[in-house]
Amino acid sequence: MIKEDFNDYHLSSELLKAISMLNFKKLTKVQEQVIPIALNEKDIVVKSQTGSGKTAAYAIPICQLVDWEENKPQALVLTPTRELAIQVKEDFFNIGRFKRIKAAAIYGKSPFYDQEKELKQKTHIVVGTPGRIIDHIEKGTFDLSKIKYLIIDEADEMLNMGFVEQIETIIKSLSKERMTMLLSATMPKDIETLCNKYMKDPIHIEIEGQNKAADKICQERYNVNESDKIELLRDITILENPDSCMIFCNTKQKVDEVYNKLSNLQYNCRKIHGGMEQSDRLREMNNFKLGYFRYLIATDVAARGIDIDNITHVINYDIPEDKESYVHRIGRTGRAGKMGRAITFVAQNESKFLNDIHEYIGKEIILKERPSLETVNNLKEEFVLKMNIRPEIKETKGAKLSEEIMKLHINAGKKTKMRAVDIVGTLCNIEGMTKDDIGIINIVDISTFVEILNNKGEWVFQQLQKTPIKGRLRTVSKVDI
Ligand code: AMP
């Protein structure tokens, strides 16, 4: 029997509390099907697109199944991109917030040594990109001996990026006594082979209405000369006057070009492409999520899996040359039950790409006439007005979960031999405190970070001003979460 409510499963109260605070009221289709099977620790192959709630479909049962007491990683999630790894880690962090699940994101172009240190500490779940995960396995800095759950997310994208061999290498290093879950929007032959080779009688789940997300998106196109695209972009943005808009280009040079032109026109915009530093990319993505600016110009690095609610418009400044990219790009809008708009510019010699897309999505994108000069002029005033208003800053997804949590910094760490047990011991001796009020403890070289749950942070903070930890009074301060 299909259950619709999260309370129908035997999930721990900590998970139910987080799920409710994340405002997940009913299970999505993929969750209805996946959660009960995953809770039974059976292998599963899921064909479903992003935006269907698939991350929570595996994160909820994995958070339920992991043993909090075990210090070594128990679940490994492989993702094709660093952005997705970070996002999935955050989803685990939010869902596992009150169970105090520790998740680490491990990906390339980020300091190896910091990751090594993180992996040495208590970590329940590791989310990472294949290359860097292999580096850690080879250097012996990632202990796989307790991994019981393997999740391969966006498997078709892994295939496109040439990661299949690396995935096989990783699988071969894992114990056979494990549950494996593979998720993919499409099921190319190589993925099926992978499933047959490494999974135990997997249960296949296909979520119907693959284009359901696309149904919530109004799709339109404009024919345009390459040299007129910027003009058209101006007109369309004035016509549409979006609250939050992603503009996709096919190359980083084009992203730079469009960004420079829009900046000169005083648009509140930023850009993301693969030629930028990882930290800059993440910062811009985060600021876009929070709503600091309305226009983000990007290459396909930002197209997949990235979960930002409330993007009202996607504009394909360049039509994607690959039909699947089209679906991923437009899937950035029309999320979380809202309608979205996707607008594609088609230049003269690009009808082949358009035909491919039409065939793939099974319908024709509506052809629109370029708005008249008069229409554009009439709307300009309203557009300029919005341009000059600061966008409303949004709350992050996990913000609500953090309301009753305070993070404290203690000025002692590994160098002074501080251990988690010292912190727990001191905290549990404070009146009214139990182990359950202590969240994630992170001990680094000369600092320790500890989270105090259940609104007890202020009390603990006051008490630690006069309570020694490991024999000495320490400087304790509050930090932003
Ligand atoms: P995903 O397909 O994992 O990228 O998830 C798409 C979005 O749906 C994310 O913003 C999730 O936080 C959200 N979500 C996942 N499960 C639920 C649910 N049961 N109810 C409401 N929103 C959900």
Chosen domain end from 361, 387, 413: 387
- Same domain? For 235 and 221 the reply is yes
Q: Domain of residue 262: give its range.
A: 212-387
Q: What percent of the chain has a predicted confidence (pLDDT) above 70?
A: 96
Please report, for the domain that includes residue 357, its CATH number: 3.40.50.300
Q: Can you give the pLDDT at residue 4?
A: 67
Question: Is the pLDDT at 2 greater than 90, yes or no?
Answer: no
Q: Can you give the pLDDT at residue 225?
A: 96
What's the pTM? 0.82
Residue-wise pLDDT tens digits, 221-234: 999 999 999 999 99
Residue 55 Cβ inside 6 Å of ligand 1? The answer reads yes
82-95 and 13-21 helices cross at what angle (nearest 10)? 120
- Compute, in angstroms, the gap from residue 410 CA to the centroid of ligand 1: 35
- Same domain? For 187 and 70 the reply is yes
Q: Can you give the pLDDT at residue 195?
A: 93
Residue-wise pLDDT tens digits, 347-377: 999 999 999 999 988 899 999 999 999 999 9
Residue 56 Cβ inside 6 Å of ligand 1? The answer reads yes
Question: Is residue 359 in some structural domain?
Answer: yes
Pairing of strands 476-479, 179-184: unpaired
Question: Is residue 398 in some structural domain?
Answer: no
Residue 28 Cβ inside 6 Å of ligand 1? The answer reads yes
- Same domain? For 231 and 182 the reply is no
- Compute, in angstroms, the gap from residue 82 CA to the centroid of ligand 1: 19
- Same domain? For 218 and 196 the reply is no
The answer to whether 419 touches 443, Cβ cutoff 8 Å, is: yes
Question: Is residue 392 in some structural domain?
Answer: no
Residue 304 Cβ inside 6 Å of ligand 1? The answer reads no
Q: What is the mean pLDDT of residues 416-436?
A: 94
Question: Is residue 146 in some structural domain?
Answer: yes
Residue-wise pLDDT tens digits, 433-456: 999 899 989 999 999 999 999 899
- Same domain? For 184 and 58 the reply is yes
Residue 398 Cβ inside 6 Å of ligand 1? The answer reads no
Residue with tokens 């024999």: 471
How far apart (Å, rounded) are the C-alpha atoms in residues 28 and 4? 8
Question: Is residue 216 in some structural domain?
Answer: yes
- Compute, in angstroms, the gap from residue 314 CA to the centroid of ligand 1: 20
Question: Is residue 22 in some structural domain?
Answer: yes
- Same domain? For 473 and 416 the reply is yes
Q: What percent of the chain has a predicted confidence (pLDDT) above 90?
A: 72
The answer to whether 279 touches 111, Cβ cutoff 8 Å, is: no
- Same domain? For 465 and 374 the reply is no
How far apart (Å, rounded) are the C-alpha atoms in residues 120 and 72? 8
Question: Is the pLDDT at 398 greater than 80, yes or no?
Answer: no
Question: Is the pLDDT at 3 greater than 80, yes or no?
Answer: no
- Compute, in angstroms, the gap from residue 98 CA to the centroid of ligand 1: 19
- Same domain? For 219 and 204 the reply is no
Question: Is the pLDDT at 213 greater than 60, yes or no?
Answer: no
- Compute, in angstroms, the gap from residue 51 CA to the centroid of ligand 1: 7
Pairing of strands 295-298, 245-248: parallel
Question: Is residue 15 in some structural domain?
Answer: yes
How far apart (Å, rounded) are the C-alpha atoms in residues 182 and 77? 10
Q: What is the mean pLDDT of residues 4-31?
A: 90
Question: Is residue 60 in some structural domain?
Answer: yes
- Compute, in angstroms, the gap from residue 63 CA to the centroid of ligand 1: 16
Q: Can you give the pLDDT at residue 263?
A: 96
Which ligand 1 atom is nearest residue 24's CA? 20
How far apart (Å, rounded) are the C-alpha atoms in residues 370 and 268? 24
Residue 307 Cβ inside 6 Å of ligand 1? The answer reads yes
- Same domain? For 199 and 221 the reply is no
Question: Is the pLDDT at 141 greater than 80, yes or no?
Answer: yes
Atom 16, ligand 1: which residue's CA is nearest? 53
Question: Is the pLDDT at 1 greater than 80, yes or no?
Answer: no
Please report, for the domain that includes residue 423, its CATH number: 3.30.70.330
Chosen domain end from 208, 231, 249: 208
Around Cβ 183, how many Cβ atoms within 10 Å?
26
- Same domain? For 179 and 99 the reply is yes
Q: Can you give the pLDDT at residue 212?
A: 53
- Within 185-319, where are the H helices? 189-198, 212-215, 229-240, 252-264, 278-290
The H or E element containing residue 151 is strand 149-152
Q: Can you give the pLDDT at residue 480?
A: 81
How far apart (Å, rounded) are the C-alpha atoms in residues 6 and 35? 10
Domain count for the chain, please give it.
3
Chosen domain end from 166, 192, 208: 208
- Same domain? For 198 and 241 the reply is no
How far apart (Å, rounded) are the C-alpha atoms in residues 27 and 18? 14
- Same domain? For 228 and 202 the reply is no
- Compute, in angstroms, the gap from residue 27 CA to the centroid of ligand 1: 9
Around Cβ 436, how many Cβ atoms within 10 Å?
11
